[in-house]
């Protein structure tokens, strides 16, 4: 996928499988919504291909890219080493925020001897809050048999 300004290519992105492999925008064209448009279209394309959860790698020292993805609601889920003849680099693996609006959800955990239930608030603006205790709206558990070690 490419972004152009007339005949000049100013940005591009590509994906394979569940991974967005690259997303680049030339520096003079950054902060104009081009990166967000490319990312939005890449994620929509992956969704059309039934990719349930996209991932993308960001060079760990690329502060601008990390800030861009975090502003989009993405969050790191791991690290990987990108091996290259020019030298290895550490990448952060990101996942985009899956909630596009604030919602209240029920989480059920049925284990070996208990069932636990939690009602929480989720949303793209909630993830980065330092204190999420107010998002836990209700919780309970019930022992239904078996052991308590689930």
pLDDT of residue 86: 83
Measured distance between the N- and C-terminal CA atoms of the chain, rounded to whole angstroms: 47
**Helix or strand or coil: residue 131?**
coil
pLDDT of residue 99: 57
pLDDT of residue 111: 61
pLDDT of residue 127: 67
Distance CA 144, CA 126 (A): 33
On whether the pTM is more than 0.75, the answer is no
Q: Answer whether 85's CB lies under 8 Å from 102's CB.
A: no
Distances (CA, A) of 97 to 44, 67, 85, 102: 13, 14, 33, 12
Distance CA 73, CA 54 (A): 13
Ordered by where they begin, the domains of the chain are 2-95 (3.40.630.30), 103-143 (no CATH)
pLDDT in tens, the chain (150 residues): 898 888 899 999 998 888 888 899 999 998 888 998 998 888 888 888 888 788 888 888 889 888 888 888 788 888 888 777 888 888 888 888 765 677 787 777 766 667 778 888 877 677 677 888 888 888 887 776 655 554
pLDDT of residue 25: 92
């Amino acid at each position: 996928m490419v972004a152009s300004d007339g005949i000049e290519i100013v940005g591009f992105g590509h994906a394979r499988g569940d991974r967005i492999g690259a997303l680049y925008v030339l520096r003079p064209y950054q902060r104009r919504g081009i990166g967000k448009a490319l990312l939005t279209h890449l994620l929509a394309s992956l969704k059309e291909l039934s990719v349930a959860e996209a991932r993308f790698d960001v060079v760990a020292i690329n502060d601008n890219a990390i800030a861009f993805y975090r502003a989009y609601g993405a969050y790191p889920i791991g690290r990987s080493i990108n091996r290259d003849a020019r030298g290895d680099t550490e990448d952060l693996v990101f996942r985009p925020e899956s909630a596009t609006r604030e919602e209240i959800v029920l989480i059920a955990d049925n284990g070996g001897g208990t069932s636990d239930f939690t009602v929480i608030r989720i949303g793209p603006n909630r993830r980065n809050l330092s204190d999420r205790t107010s998002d836990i709206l209700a919780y309970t558990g019930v022992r239904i048999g078996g052991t308590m070690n689930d």
